[in-house]
């Protein structure tokens, strides 16, 4: 299926970008500690890079967790449900998540608009670039929740077909 391969490509791309950001954060944090305690000269830009990088890491990594069903969940009740009720639960949870993420997406756009022309105090990057992470992350989480709901619908319809035969 063409759409499935596109979603897999997006997922792998988000994972690779997240790994790159993590590596950069690790290097900056290590350098910050080294410069502070060994060189006795603390870098001023390190904290901002770490904070903004961590925000991007979370917002790009979260869609990957949605796609892999890796977010923290309480499965005690869901595991005891029949397949039909698991489907209903997945759909309701997905729709609630999509509703929340739609609000997050909209508010992220508002944050970008409000922060237009405002730069970070130390490294001077536009703060709207940091807010863009909220928009990007929310968008891809919605895409992957829609994929989960469609997959649940397909599973349910195939189960009904098997029961009818």
- The pLDDT profile of the chain, 165 residues, written as one tens digit per residue, is 688 889 999 999 999 999 999 999 999 999 999 998 888 888 889 999 999 999 999 999 999 999 998 877 777 777 888 877 888 888 888 899 999 999 999 999 999 999 999 999 999 999 999 999 999 999 999 999 999 888 888 887 777 666 665
What are the boundaries of each domain within the chain? 2-164
Cα–Cα nearest to 130, from 118, 144, 142 = 118
The residues near 67 (Cβ < 8 Å, ≥ 6 apart) are: 7, 11, 144, 147, 148
Contact of 118 with 126, CB cutoff 8 Å: yes
- Dist CA 152 CA 88 (whole Å): 9
pLDDT in tens, 32-43: 999 988 888 888
Contact of 156 with 82, CB cutoff 8 Å: no
């Amino acid at each position: 299926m063409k759409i499935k391969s596109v979603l897999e490509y997006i997922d792998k791309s988000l994972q690779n970008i997240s790994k790159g950001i993590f590596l950069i954060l690790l290097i900056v944090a290590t350098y910050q500690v080294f410069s502070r305690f060994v060189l006795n000269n603390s870098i001023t830009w390190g904290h901002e890079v770490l904070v903004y990088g961590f925000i991007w890491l979370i917002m790009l990594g979260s869609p990957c967790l949605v796609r892999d069903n890796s977010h923290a969940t309480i499965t005690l009740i869901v595991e005891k449900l029949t397949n039909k009720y698991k489907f209903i639960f997945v759909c309701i949870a997905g729709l609630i998540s999509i509703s929340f993420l739609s609000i997050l997406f909209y508010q992220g756009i508002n944050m970008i608009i409000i922060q237009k022309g405002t730069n970070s105090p130390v490294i001077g990057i536009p703060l709207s670039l940091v807010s863009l992470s909220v928009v990007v992350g929310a968008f891809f989480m919605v895409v992957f929740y829609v994929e989960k709901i469609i997959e649940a619908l397909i599973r349910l319809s195939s189960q009904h077909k098997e029961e009818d035969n």
